[in-house]
């Protein structure tokens, strides 16, 4: 009897559990259905709103388009040109400061100071709208920069530094290449500013000292490596003479040929080591020559400003695009506020 009562109580408990689960699913399904109904209702109300005020939006867009077209026609075209540079001797920060200074002068319309700084006429300076600079880099260059940076660290720091951590602390100033951009009304003014921008860094006494020290060190390294290479070449000639002497001894004394052949093997090994050393020194000379080429100037100009800049054709900078959008947004906000005000009045009456 007791077992039957336990089975009955278990069946009642299971039944209540299934009913509870069923109620939960029913409430969930009703909530989902109601949610989508509300979304559908909101979409319908939005479509009705736009349908009722469609003509107002069309008028606002047409008026904005006409005004924008007139303003674009009366405004002079803007031109943009860029120069790619590679700063040496940690001069990137100074370059960024100089570009920011030029841009501030253009924004403040201090055209006389801007003309003096860029070595152009005041009229040409008036045509400049913006001077900017940004890092010109990609993932491959960042990875190479990270690889070069890791080689300067000790083993403990190298083990604790990951590429992800490096990217989080990466400063655009540390990039190898940088792009200087000038936006102006005059299509030829950027080219005229190039020498002044570069010389503002090259004429800095600190960087000139860094460059002269670097040149001296490279010349010293080059002379040392070439001297070592000459000594290796003389040793190679010396070993070749020894081998000739051994060959002559072999011909004159056949009874000592075994010992002499072992000596020849030692000479061959020494020559192989000398060849490896000569190859390594030759690579060092190539690296020094590359460093000389890369540090010939304080600022390496990778790509010059073009003789004539390109017209800016950015769609969202044209007034015939911006004004219609602005007019439609203003009309939309005005109508929404009217509907909101009407709703609040009806809400107060209720």
pLDDT digits (tens, 9 = 90+) for 156-197: 777 777 777 777 767 778 788 999 999 999 888 999 999 999
Residue 9 has what pLDDT? 55
Q: Are residues 103 and 185 in the same domain?
A: yes
* pTM of the model as a whole: 0.68
Q: Is the pLDDT of residue 79 over 70?
A: yes
Q: Are residues 114 and 191 in the same domain?
A: yes
Mean pLDDT of 141-146: 74
pLDDT band of residue 235 (cuts 50, 70, 90) is confident
pLDDT band of residue 97 (cuts 50, 70, 90) is very high
Residue 226 CB contacts under 8 Å (≥ 6 apart), including other chains:
285
Q: Are residues 183 and 219 in the same domain?
A: no
Q: Are residues 86 and 199 in the same domain?
A: yes
Higher local confidence (pLDDT), 124 or 262? 124
Domain count within the chain: 3
Q: Are residues 111 and 188 in the same domain?
A: yes
Q: Are residues 9 and 32 in the same domain?
A: yes
Q: Are residues 307 and 176 in the same domain?
A: yes
Residue 236 has what pLDDT? 77
Q: What is the DSSP code (8-state) at residue 86? A: E
Q: Are residues 92 and 179 in the same domain?
A: yes
Domain range for 186 is 76-206+301-313
Residue 349 has what pLDDT? 62
CB 305 within 8 A of CB 194: yes
Q: Are residues 108 and 223 in the same domain?
A: no
Which of 185, 172, 75, 179 shows the shortest CA–CA distance to 130?
A: 185
């Amino acid at each position: 009897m007791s077992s039957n009562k336990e089975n009955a109580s278990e069946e009642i408990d299971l039944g209540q559990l299934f009913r509870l689960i069923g109620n939960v699913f029913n409430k969930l399904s009703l909530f989902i259905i109601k949610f989508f109904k509300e979304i559908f209702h909101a979409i319908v109300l939005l479509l009705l709103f736009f349908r009722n005020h469609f003509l107002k939006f069309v008028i606002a867009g047409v008026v904005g388009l006409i005004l924008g077209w007139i303003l674009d026609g009366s405004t002079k075209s803007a031109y943009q040109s860029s120069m790619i540079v590679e700063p040496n001797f940690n001069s990137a920060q100074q370059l960024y400061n100089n570009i920011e200074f030029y841009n501030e002068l253009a924004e403040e319309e201090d055209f006389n100071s801007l003309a003096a700084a860029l070595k152009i006429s005041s009229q040409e300076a008036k045509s400049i709208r913006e001077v900017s600079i940004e890092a010109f880099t990609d993932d491959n260059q960042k990875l190479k920069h990270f690889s070069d940076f890791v080689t300067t660290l000790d083993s403990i720091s190298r083990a604790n530094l990951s590429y992800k951590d490096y990217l989080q602390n990466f400063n655009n100033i540390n990039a190898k290449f940088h792009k200087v951009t000038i936006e102006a009304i005059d299509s030829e003014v950027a080219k005229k500013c190039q020498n002044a921008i570069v010389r503002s860094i090259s004429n800095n006494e600190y960087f000139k000292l860094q460059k002269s020290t670097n040149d001296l060190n490279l010349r010293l390294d080059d002379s040392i490596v070439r001297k070592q290479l000459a000594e290796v070449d003389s040793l190679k000639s010396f070993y070749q003479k020894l081998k000739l002497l051994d060959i002559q001894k072999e011909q004159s004394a056949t009874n000592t040929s075994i010992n002499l052949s072992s000596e020849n093997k030692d000479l061959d090994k020494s020559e192989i080591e000398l060849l490896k050393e000569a190859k390594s020194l030759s690579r060092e000379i190539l690296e020094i020559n590359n460093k000389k080429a890369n540090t010939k100037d304080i600022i390496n100009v990778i790509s010059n400003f073009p003789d004539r800049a390109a017209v800016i054709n950015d769609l969202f900078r044209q007034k015939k695009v911006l004004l219609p959008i602005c007019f439609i947004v203003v009309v939309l906000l005005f109508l929404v506020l009217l509907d909101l005000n009407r709703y609040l009045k009806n809400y107060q009456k209720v």
